Structure 1
Amino acid sequence: MTEIRIAAASADRFDDVEHALTGGGDGASCWCQWWMLRAKDFSAATRDERRELRGDLAAPVASALLAYVDDEAAGWVKVSPRPDQPRLARTRNFQQSPEPFDDPSVWAITCFVVRREHRGNGIAARLLDAAVDHARAHDARVVEGYPVDTAAAKASANDLYHGALSTFVDAGFTEVARPTRSRPIVSLSLA
């Protein structure tokens, strides 16, 4: 029987982070820095410079979680207070959030990576549940997500790094805004 466990992404697990992020999709080129850097800084950064997320991984509260399948790093989810992901406030589509952007009690789930060989096994749903638990354990009041509604528009595997709307709805999230036809903002109150 396959064992799936979730653990905090940390500096001492960097090899596992690297393995999870390089298994398909945008993870290998973005290194989950898209929401951390201004557009011009992200564009100017080399792939190696983006890999320097070790500072994020050394933070006292993990900003991401890893999924392990039988002790192999199989997936990643970015979850942290929204002010720690400054590009969200500068992204027009997400400015329709009803929550103030500078509120550290609002956490954002912005990135999923699941290695190709582990897709279709519920890893993203397990990561989402763990991300909510992680946010709750660190005093989050609200958790937001910015998934893709695959019923409204076809999406490639790369487009699903935001997660699928159905996964968020199954986890109890509700839609609070729809900036574009296929990109809702979803929210889960933890209060």
Structure 2
Amino acid sequence: MAIEVRAATRFADVKTMVGPKRPDANVCWCLSYRIPSTQNNDLHGTARGDLVKKLVAQKPPPGVLAYDGDEVVGWAGVHPRADTTFARNRRIPHVDDLDVWSVWCIRVRPGHRGEGISHRLLAGAVDFAREHGAPAIEGYPVDNRGKKVDLTMAYVGTRSLFEAAGFTEAAVTDSVLNGFPRLLMRFDLN
């Protein structure tokens, strides 16, 4: 399997990964950490997809996609922290004043899980941030200590995934997801 990770510039592929089956369904579209909660709550029907279509057209786009040949098999939301809700999140601290990037969502399509794609997505997110001049990239995974994480909450990643990619723990947080504490893990790019 030759997985290639590329910038998320094709809306149809982003929609495959994070969009609903029904275009008017009120689901995340990976916007929960990307835009302020008031704006997120005001989006209804097809407005979420319309916003994601605009974000995909921007430079830089809102994340990276993994492909197995021509088939999209994974997504990672990654962008400058200043453009996310992590810029103002009281439960996840800022380690310093660097203009770091955040990776907040890693998703692999059913039928492709267990093939190492999340590792490739995280490596691709690191490369994407580096290519855009980020001094460092952060993630906020759960510290599940090897215990099973509910699939609906696994999108933040696990400590072991981030450690395998070269991230180190930079801070503990006050955030908890699925009963597990979240860590602030960082990969310095300088």
Q: Which moved more, 1:180-189 or 1:124-133?
A: 180-189
Distance, in Å, in 2 between the alignment partners of 1:61 and 1:178 is: 29
Task: Give the alignment of 1:63-82 within 5 angstroms.
Answer: 63-82=62-81
1:186 corresponds to: 185
How far did residue 40 of structure 1 move?
2.6
How far did residue 63 of structure 1 move?
2.5
2:56 corresponds to: 57
* Structure (1/2) with the larger helix percentage: 1
Asked whether the 8 Å contact 1:30–1:47 carries over to 2, the reply is no
- CA RMSD in angstroms, aligned pairs only: 2.1
Task: Give the alignment of 1:1-150 within 5 angstroms.
Answer: 2-10=1-9, 13-22=10-19, 29-52=27-50, 53-85=52-84, 87-94=85-92, 96-100=93-97, 103=98, 105-150=99-144
Asked whether the 8 Å contact 1:99–1:106 carries over to 2, the reply is no
Q: How high is the TM-score relative to the length of structure 2? A: 0.86
Describe the superposition over 1:80-131 as per-residue Cα deviations: whole angstroms up to 9, x where unpaired.
Answer: 111111x11232221x22123xx5x311111111111111111111011011
1:157 aligns with 2:156: no
Q: How high is the TM-score relative to the length of structure 1? A: 0.86
Asked whether the 8 Å contact 2:102–2:139 carries over to 1, the reply is yes
Unaligned 5+ segments in structure 2 are 175-179
Query: Aligned pair count?
Result: 180
Task: Give the alignment of 1:159-178 within 5 angstroms.
Answer: 159-178=153-172
Q: In the alignment, residue 60 of structure 1 is paired with which amino acid?
A: K
How far did residue 179 of structure 1 move?
1.4
Asked whether the 8 Å contact 1:23–1:115 carries over to 2, the reply is no
Distance, in Å, in 2 between the alignment partners of 1:122 and 1:23 is: 24
- Report % sequence identity: 36
How far did residue 137 of structure 1 move?
1.2
Asked whether the 8 Å contact 1:148–1:159 carries over to 2, the reply is no
Describe the superposition over 1:130-172 as per-residue Cα deviations: whole angstroms up to 9, x where unpaired.
Answer: 1111111111101100011121765211111111111100111
**Runs ≥4 residues deviating over 4 A:** none
